[in-house]
A = this chain, B = another copy of it.
Amino acid sequence: METTLERPTIADWRTYPQTAALTSLRPQADRLDLVWDDGRVSPFHHQWLRDNCPCGECVYAVTREQVLEIIDVPADLAPERAAIELGYLCVHWSDGHRSQFDPGWLRAHAYDDDSRAERLAAHQTTRVWRRDFEVPVFQHDQLMEDDSALLEWMLALRDLGLSRVDGVPTAPGSLHRIAQRIAFIRETNFGVLFDVKSKAAAADSNAYTAFNLPLHTDLPTRELQPGLQFLHCLVNNADGGDSVFVDGFAIAQALRDEAPEDFRTLCEMPIEFRNKDRRSDYRCLAPVIALDARGEISEIRIANFLRGPFDAPAERMEALYHAWRAFLSLTRDPRFRLQQKLRAGQMWCFDNRRTLHARTAFDPASGERHLQGCYIDRDELLSRILVLQRGR
């Protein structure tokens, strides 16, 4: 086969080290089965290969984005010839186009069962925790200066969903700089930074009162709940006002194990959450437990004080209350609850879509309590992690 082997256009910022070599190929009616030197066989459909041709005609080199749309080639396009040359898969298509595929890239995107299972396993980095969890603590100045410390913090947020940062300056607004080490802040109707203190008659949320606030996620009333929540303590001299955390994934998993019917109900039956004041009126209809495209528990949505009346078929109402009560009971179960008082200069940072948080009642007459908070979305955390991992 007369192919001039060129390094294909780089269609990606990632690199794909070659972990296995191609040894042979077996043409099939609709695909090529590629055989690797560790014995794995990976099918690649003709359509798939043509669609992913990395040549400069199919991918625009500057942006590394695809230009070809697969409907511009016939659905039955097939290779005229295909061979492995210098380790690369080389295909001459029946319409004259030629494609070359890097074996490292092919292996990384192979969709035989073993390759898919490997990728899925690499995605499963979540570690659930209970009351005895030792919250990982990071130092503000180190996070500001050192990218590898920053990466460790972000991995803890991704995998554990709860962290504490110490040594944060107590000047109002200090939160802004440390949050921006990850990414820009997500603004909401409560502002870019929000102040958590007792606002008495001006309170527009139970968060801004002094009473006990049950375990919840913030802004369940939005289609996309904020990903990371930062809570920075400027002063906390009042009696009470402890922080309480529960790993929502741990209690959802407990529900799945102990009461699978209730678990299913909370995955399937949507609930309305509402938040309204003079200038806003948010509503969101969604289930308490969300599963991702891979079927894993990916999100908890709960705040009793922002919940609308249940709207479900009458014959399912009992089942819904049964499941809801079971979940609320788990939020109070001592097996899962971690309680700690935040001191001035300390900051919680947690996955707001996983880690439920609460505040015990405090006595505003006994001292001052002032926290500042902000949000960053999960997309930004994951992107920043991938960028910092590139260099490794």
Contacts and interface: CB of A to CB of B under 8 A. Distances in A.
A200 B63 CA distance: 10
Interface string A311-331: 111100110011011001100
A128 interface: no
Interface string A47-72: 11001100000001011111101110
Contacts of A321: 45, 47-48, 51, 70, 75
B282 A111 contact: no
B282 A270 contact: no
A281 B386 contact: yes
A206 B65 contact: yes
Contacts of A7: none
A51 B201 contact: no
A392 interface: no
Contacts of A382: 282-283
Interface string A180-203: 000111110100000000001101
Contacts of A325: 70-71, 75
Nearest to A325: B71
Interface string A77-114: 00000000000000000000000000000000101110
Given A209-B60, A223-B378, A278-B13, A71 B109 contact: no
B379 A51 contact: no
A310 B47 CA distance: 10
Nearest to A192: B184
Nearest to A272: B293
Interface in A254-287: 270, 276-287
A144 interface: no
19 contacts: A13-B278, A13-B281, A43-B314, A45-B321, A51-B321, A62-B200, A63-B203, A65-B206, A70-B321, A70-B324, A70-B325, A70-B328, A116-B311, A184-B187, A223-B378, A280-B387, A281-B386, A282-B383, A283-B382
